[in-house]
Structure 1
């Protein structure tokens, strides 16, 4: 039976352990690293072998953030685990300023998540991208974002798939409808997800001519509008919200 050490014995054993580490370092045959000097400044050139293990480790990862908000990390983690519970998530880590990185067990599972690429948190777009060693983990490289919008005042004859797609194209690229619009269970407005340019204006109405050349004016509402900061050019906040 191994005796339980007293407090003094633990400190002595701990001190011996560090002494052994130092001794082994002194007697190690590992070739020391001597950084080069350039104009008096110390420089160090890393090799591919130095970084390859981490590149391989994160190769099945995506990174992203929630545009327009920065919830607590545990809320974001719980949300990501829930929406990707069937995609073999291995690790969720947080980097800075609301940016997260998610590692999957396989590259294939990661690509399955990235392919559709349209996720929303509290009606705000979740921006995700496939990670690569050259990627710059910042928020300001977004050009387009998915946004849910509502088209109010549509006559019943305009609720067909072909009509709605053509009408929504007046704003931006169409992605999908919500369930109530697809099944026509609520006809107060048509709700759809579209891809919009963050630097473009968001019209509050659109016009088109119907089959009899009558001009129709349709009201447009957005669940969320991309705000651009005039100070840092970032997306999702104004100058006063920084």
Structure 2
């Protein structure tokens, strides 16, 4: 029985070079296969390779707090980490920075089309501290606006949001490692410093 045109447009084969066919998948198929990776993280040692066994021991010790973590050894020094517990996933994503000895681990959320051969680590997520800010600027709105100059703001910590800490504000931000990290800024003519947690050994 002949298929209708709409079905052919979605999953049919195009007439092209038989030596290099285009494989088509439906949106439902791709969504189904990607679902299990939505709570996965891409981990890679910054500047050096780390061994699977060493990484597995370290991550199971610090990330598997509520459930098992599954670590897949990929190419090009990358690892994929899947979580059974959403709390563990959030902790691994937001609780860093993470170190393996003296090696900084870059941590990214998995994204569709991830290819360890073609993916180049150019950014990572990190906590930034903004010390000595006047108390009126230690609030979510002001800190997120400042953080736009540091990279891509993700969120402020709870104490900053509530204004419960007067010594510094703290914000989680994705920074571009191919660019010099912003180390200072001005508000009303006064210069303030930026401190990146766990990135002391990286050039700023």
- The TM-score range, normalised by the shorter chain, is 0.5 to 0.7
Q: Residue 100 of structure 1 is aligned with which of 79, 86, 89? A: 79
| Greater mean alpha carbon deviation, residues 165-174 or residues 95-104 | 95-104
CA contact (8 A) 1:118 1:125 kept: no
**Aligned equivalent of 2:192:** 218
Kindly indicate whether residue 138 of structure 2 is the aligned counterpart of residue 162 of structure 1. no
Q: 122, 126, 129: which is aligned to 2:107?
A: 126
Q: How far 1:98 moved relative to its partner?
A: 5.0
Q: Match for 2:180 among 176, 194, 201?
A: 201
Answer yes or no: is 1:147 the counterpart of 2:122: no
Unmatched tracts of structure 2, length 5 or more: 1-19, 24-29, 100-104
CA gap 1:63/1:176 in 2 versus in 1, 3 angstroms: closer
Structure 1 unaligned spans of 5+: 1-44, 49-54, 210-214, 228-235, 238-242
SS of the residue corresponding to residue 195 of structure 2 reads strand
Change over 3 Å in CA distance of 1:66–1:162 after alignment to 2: same
1:177 aligns with one of 156, 160, 163: 156
**CA deviation string 1:42-101 (max 9, x = no partner):** xxx9xx8xxxxxx9x975334621443747122224444337x3xx86x43333565323
Alpha-carbon offset, residue 178 of structure 1: 1.9
Question: What is the aligned partner in structure 2 of residue 24 from structure 1?
Answer: none
Q: Secondary structure at the match of 2:143?
A: helix
2:82 and 2:130 map into 1 onto residues whose CA distance is 38
What is the aligned residue count? 162
Counterpart Cα distance in 1 of 2:71 and 2:187: 46
Q: 1:63 to 1:196 in 2, by over 3 A?
A: closer
From 64, 82, 101, the equivalent of 1:81 is: 64
Report the Cα distance in structure 2 between the residues aligned to 1:136 and 1:96, rounded to whole angstroms: 9
Q: 1:104 and 1:223 mapped to 2: Cα distance?
A: 25
SS state at 2:96 partner = strand
Residues 176 and 194 in structure 1, CA contact (< 8 A), matched pair in contact too: yes
Go from structure 1 to structure 2 and tell me whether the alpha carbon gap of 1:102 and 1:197 turns closer, same or farther (over 3 Å shift): closer
Task: Determine if contact 1:152/1:219 at 8 Å carries over to the other structure.
Answer: yes
Change in Cα spacing, 1:93 to 1:174, as seen in structure 2 (3 Å) is: closer
CA shift digits 1:97-143 (9 cap, x unpaired) = 653234578xxx99xx69xx6563537541232465xx432485233
